[in-house]
Amino acid sequence: MASQTIGFAVSDEDRERLDRLVEHFGGGNRSAYLRATLKVMESLLRAERLRELQAANHRRLAERGIAPEDLPDLIRDAYKGASG
């Protein structure tokens, strides 16, 4: 795996926090910590996107007069209609 060293600035007040997190999550290795952090941040990004999609879909349903609790029955009826 190819790698490249990159630099970034950390304020003095954040340095202690960073060092503590690097020790805990990266075993003292900043690169390992960054890899672990990337996974977490990607997961948070996916969760944020899912919340946005859910909110948009709830707005669309509301515009059509459909309550979220009505969905299971509507979906079940749609499947029954498609197979019958």
pLDDT of residue 84: 58
Q: Is residue 71 part of a domain?
A: yes
Structural domain span for residue 28: 12-83
Per-residue confidence band for 2, with pLDDT thresholds at 50, 70 and 90: confident
Q: Is the pLDDT of residue 67 over 80?
A: yes
The residue-averaged pLDDT of 51-71 equals 95
pLDDT of residue 74: 93
Q: Is the pLDDT of residue 3 over 90?
A: no
Query: Beta-carbon neighbour count of residue 33 at 10 Å?
Result: 19
Q: Is residue 22 part of a domain?
A: yes
Q: Is residue 78 part of a domain?
A: yes
Q: How many separate domains does the chain show?
A: 1
Helix residue ranges, H only, the chain: 12-26, 30-63, 71-83
- Model pLDDT for residues 13-34, shown as the tens digit of each residue: 999 999 999 999 999 999 999 9
